[in-house]
Structure 1
Amino acid sequence: MKFLATFSFLAAAVTPVASQSIIDLASADGKYGTLLGAVTGTPGVLDAITSNFPVTIFAPTDAAFAEIASTVAELDQSTLATVLASHVVADVYTAEAVIDAGCVELMTLSGANIRVMVKDGMVMVNDSTVIQPDIIGEGGIIHGIDKVILPGTYEPCPTTPVTPVASSSKGSSKSSKKSRRLAQ
Structure 2
Amino acid sequence: MMGLCFGSVNAYAAADKDIVDTAVAAGQFKTLAAALGAAGLVDTLKGKGPFTVFAPTDAAFAKLPAGTIDTLLKPENKGALTAILTYHVVAGKVPAATVVKLTEAKTVNGASVTVKVVGGTVMINDAQVTTADIMTSNGVIHVIDTVLMPPKM
Give the letter for the 1:112 counterpart: A
Distance 1:31 1:135 in 2: 14
| Residues 3-37 of structure 1 deviation map (CA, whole Å, 9 limit, x = unaligned) | xxxxxxxxxxxx98452222211111111111011
Partner of 1:169: none
Moved more, 56-65 or 68-77: 68-77
Q: Relative CO higher for 1 or 2, CA cutoff 8 Å, sep ≥ 6?
A: 1
Please report the TM-score for the alignment, with normalisation by the length of structure 2: 0.79
Distance 2:15 2:54 in 1: 21
2:68 pairs with one of 71, 79, 82? 71
How many residues are treated as equivalent by the alignment? 136
Contact 2:31 2:61 in 1 (8 A): yes
For the pair 1:38 / 2:38, whether they are aligned, the reply is no
Partner of 1:60: 56
Distance 1:53 1:114 in 2: 20
Percent identity of paired positions between Structure 1 and Structure 2:
39
Question: 5+ residue gaps in structure 2?
Answer: 1-11
**Aligned-pair CA distance for 1:151:** 2.4
Give the letter for the 1:109 counterpart: V
Distance 1:138 1:16 in 2: 11
Partner of 2:82: 81
Choose between structure 1 and 2: higher helix proportion: 2
| Residues 112-169 of structure 1 deviation map (CA, whole Å, 9 limit, x = unaligned) | 111122112100000000001111011100000000001239xxxxxxxxxxxxxxxx
Give the letter for the 1:19 counterpart: D
Q: Which has the larger radius of gyration?
A: 1
Give the letter for the 1:88 counterpart: V
Partner of 1:104: 103
Please report the TM-score for the alignment, with normalisation by the length of structure 1: 0.67
Question: 5+ residue gaps in structure 1?
Answer: 1-14, 154-184
Give the letter for the 2:99 counterpart: V
Contact 2:50 2:139 in 1 (8 A): yes
Give the letter for the 2:27 counterpart: G
Partner of 1:116: 115
Partner of 2:45: 49
Partner of 1:9: none
